[in-house]
Amino acid sequence: MPKSFPWIPVIALIFVNGLWGFSFPLVKVLNEISDVHFGVPPHHESTVFRVLVSAWMIATRFTLALVIMCIVWNSLVRRAKPREWLAGFYIGAMFYCGLVLQVIGLASIPASRSGFLTSLTAVFTPLFGAWIFRKYPSKWMVLGIALAVLGVVILTGLVVRTPSGFGLAPDAADRWTIGDTLTTLGSMFFAFQVLFLDHYGKKIDSVAVTPSMFLTASVLGWITVGLILGTSLKEQTGVADMAFFDWVQLSMRPIFLIALFALAILCSLLAFGWMNKFQPSITAAQAAVIYSLEPVFASTWALFLPGMLSLLSGIEYLNEQVTWGLLSGGVLILLANVVALYPDRGSVAEPDTEGKFDGPP
């Protein structure tokens, strides 16, 4: 690749994906703890209850992240101007919608599967970008997208090995669950988040959108919690006597609180701060393909972290196993990253006078 290729942003975003991958087993076990705390039988929870759990996690996680930011990174909050706050609102709204759907879906599918389906963001981002911003992907990006899709198809078991080779699974329709659908819809919102950050980030102080993004996610989360607990929707949760204090009590459990702080500091404050800082240095399509590394990290963490979390929480959460589909899908997604990051001649961003990279026109 050309020497001017922005390797530092790429490496930083890969590290960000490692932190995001770490969040999948954490969120999974918080879902399980919530079910046990409120006496909800596994796989019998209502949709409203699942939305409430996801909204509570997001609201507490990003409220903590925002408070910590105001304490240790106050200069970032003060330097954000109205345009950064507005851009952060758009980005945060898309992120909140995607994360709610992802957390709901994660309650019924494995962490590794959720991670790989979330990686479909790499497919939707260039497609939506071509539709909205007329930013058409390069031939390498198209090939990378095709490899990423093939990896997801193999991972979810829609394509299986047979004695004569490979083919569509006989029960392919049953292998695709509601959790898969919700997670895929979530990846569409994440694609818009990436596009909005790419669109606004090259014109403003991109890292300064982080406070607004966190504030938007937390406020939308608290609004959702209030709407459910404060209206007749609470009756549809299946836990009619549920109160706000019950959720506070749940959040004060040591394992729940530790997980929330880990999500707030590592997977939110650090990860999204770096994302907002470094993503505008490359194209949105390249960023989306780098983000497809997230499931590789999620699957790696899921091989050993659930067992440790089970011991700490008392929740039965088994380590996931390496399967042919998981291994093959992961390799294809890694290959998709290598292929899609290869720039066409003349497409590499050049630094501007402020040392920041501008994407191709």
pLDDT on residue 86? 92
Average pLDDT, the chain: 81
Q: Cα-flanking dihedrals φ and ψ of residue 202, to 5°?
A: -80, -10
Query: Is the pLDDT higher at 223 or at 116?
Result: 223
Query: Is the pLDDT higher at 273 or at 349?
Result: 273
Span of 30-34, 138-142, 247-251 with lowest mean pLDDT: 138-142
Model confidence over 136-184: pLDDT tens digits? 777 877 887 788 778 777 776 766 666 666 666 665 556 678 888 899 8
Residue 208 has pLDDT above 90, yes or no: no
Domain range summary for the chain, segments of one domain joined by +: 7-346
SS3 of residue 357 by DSSP = strand
Q: Cα-flanking dihedrals φ and ψ of residue 160, to 5°?
A: -130, 160
**Mean pLDDT of the 107-119 span:** 80
**Contact call for residues 197 and 281 (beta carbons, < 8 A):** no
Q: How far apart are CA 360 and CA 289, in angstroms?
A: 17
pLDDT on residue 65? 93
Residue 340 has pLDDT above 50, yes or no: yes
DSSP 13-37: HHHHHHHHHHHHHHHHHHHHHHHHH
**Contact call for residues 62 and 214 (beta carbons, < 8 A):** yes
pTM of the predicted protein model:
0.80
The band of 320, judged by pLDDT with boundaries at 50, 70 and 90, is confident
The band of 295, judged by pLDDT with boundaries at 50, 70 and 90, is confident
| Alpha-helical runs (H) found in the chain | 7-37, 47-72, 74-79, 82-106, 111-118, 121-132, 139-155, 172-175, 178-201, 210-229, 244-251, 254-264, 271-278, 284-291, 294-302, 305-313, 324-340
Span of 64-78, 236-250, 279-293, 343-357 with lowest mean pLDDT: 343-357
Span of 16-25, 156-165, 219-228, 251-260 with lowest mean pLDDT: 156-165
